[in-house]
């Protein structure tokens, strides 16, 4: 049975302040208007993600903000409520371990969402079997009361709609970025 894709309207409720990203856990949605967007995590002042290039681990959050600002990349930052037991340092190390489970983003192997799904399954004990896209993950987090706030850079927050996309579009996006990456190498 094919599930009908529904739009998920994310509530952007906070003015962006770089200092907010220096503490806590955040889902970073880079190229937030692109189909598909790129997703990573910010934990303990560092950005981590899985990409076509491989594992992006311990990138200072200031570098991510600087890149987004210079290139005017639409970015969304979803702050996750503090974990009742684990420190930011533990969460960072745990997420790095999740990223390291995969060599790189590749068609039929892993997407940038793969380590994030593992993380929320293991750390927050959330069922992720039916989550394949960001627009499916966020309602799960919201229903569990885990989203504390959302802020943005270079987005029209009044008209922003989280992109809805298919697995085919993810694979096409992976192929396109891989071709761009390989032509630069």
CATH code of residue 125: 3.90.1720
Per-residue pLDDT, averaged over 54-80, amounts to: 95
Alpha helices, DSSP H only, in the chain?
61-71, 88-99, 114-124, 134-143, 167-184
Sheet holding 25-30, edge to edge: 54-60, 46-51, 38-43, 25-30, 75-80, 147-153
Compare 106 and 157 and report the one with higher pLDDT: 106
Per-residue pLDDT, averaged over 5-24, amounts to: 79
- Structural domain includes residue 180: no
- Structural domain includes residue 185: no
- Structural domain includes residue 176: no
pTM of the entire predicted model? 0.89
CA distance 115 to 95: 7
- Structural domain includes residue 183: no
What confidence tens digit (pLDDT) does each residue in 27-46 have?
999 999 988 899 999 998 99
Tally of domains within the chain: 1
Compare 86 and 173 and report the one with higher pLDDT: 86
- Structural domain includes residue 173: no
- Structural domain includes residue 175: no
CA distance 25 to 42: 6
pLDDT at 83 over 80: yes
**With bands split at pLDDT 50, 70 and 90, how would you rate the model's confidence at 4?**
very low
Rg (CA), the chain: 15
- Structural domain includes residue 11: no
**With bands split at pLDDT 50, 70 and 90, how would you rate the model's confidence at 82?**
very high
Alpha carbon 22 to its chain's center: 17
- Structural domain includes residue 159: yes
- At which residue do the structure tokens 């969304």 appear? 76
Cα–Cα–Cα angle for 49, 102, 142, nearest 5°? 50
Which residue range(s) make up the domain with 137?
Answer: 18-163
């Amino acid at each position: 049975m094919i599930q009908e894709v529904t739009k998920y309207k994310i509530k952007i409720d906070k003015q962006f302040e770089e200092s907010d990203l220096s503490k806590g856990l955040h889902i970073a949605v880079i190229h937030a208007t692109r189909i598909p967007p790129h997703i990573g995590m910010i934990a303990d002042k560092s950005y981590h993600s899985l990409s076509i290039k491989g594992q992006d681990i311990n990138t200072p959050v200031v570098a991510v903000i600087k890149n987004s600002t210079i290139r005017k990349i639409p970015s969304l930052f979803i702050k996750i409520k503090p974990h009742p037991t684990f420190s930011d340092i533990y969460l960072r190390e745990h997420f790095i371990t999740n990223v390291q489970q995969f060599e790189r983003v590749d068609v039929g192997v892993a997407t940038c969402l793969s380590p994030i799904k593992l993380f929320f399954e293991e750390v927050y004990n959330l069922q992720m079997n039916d989550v394949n896209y960001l627009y499916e993950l966020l309602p799960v987090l919201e229903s569990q009361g885990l989203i504390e706030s959302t802020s943005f850079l270079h987005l029209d927050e009044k008209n922003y709609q989280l992109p809805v996309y298919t697995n085919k579009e993810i694979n096409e996006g992976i192929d396109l970025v891989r071709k761009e990456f390989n032509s630069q190498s």
